[in-house]
Amino acid sequence: MAMTDTEFHQLADEMFHAIDNAIEYAIDEQDEDLDIDASGNVLQLTFADRSQIVINKQEPLHQIWVATKFGGYHFSYVDEKWIDERNGGEFMPFVLDSILRQSGIQLLINR
């Protein structure tokens, strides 16, 4: 059975909230220099060097897209996980690694 738009948004929002909570913790408790802007279907992370990671929901495709300074990636929900369609990697480990590689900030995700 195909995923509904409502299910897609619920699942994608769970990932957005987990990232947002980890970033808020890093800013408040670890004094990291990192800005987060959540607007509509887009979560934009801006680091001290002004580089960005942009995460957005692609509702028509039921995908989450991630743009880093290393490239763009598309994640689909498969077997209860968000999986990169190119290399098969999972969304959250990918995002955490991208943030570390791009900014040197190590985030912890509690789920």
pLDDT along the chain (111 residues), means of 10: 90 91 81 86 94 96 96 95 95 94 84 50
Amino acid identity of 72? G
Asked if residue 110 is part of any domain, the answer here is no
Task: Write out the residue range of the structural domain in which residue 79 sits.
Answer: 5-103
User: Biggest alpha carbon distance in the chain?
Assistant: 45
| Nearest Cα to Cα of residue 35 among 56, 52, 57 | 52
Asked if residue 108 is part of any domain, the answer here is no
- Write down the pLDDT at residue 1: 64
Asked if residue 93 is part of any domain, the answer here is yes
Asked if residue 42 is part of any domain, the answer here is yes
Asked if residue 13 is part of any domain, the answer here is yes
- Write down the pLDDT at residue 6: 95
Asked if residue 109 is part of any domain, the answer here is no
How many domains does one find in the chain? 1
The pTM is what?
0.90
Q: Output the domain CATH number for residue 97.
A: 3.30.920.10
Give the pair of three-digit tokens for residue 56. 């957005």
Q: What span, in angstroms and rounded, lies between the C-alpha atoms of 106 and 100?
A: 5
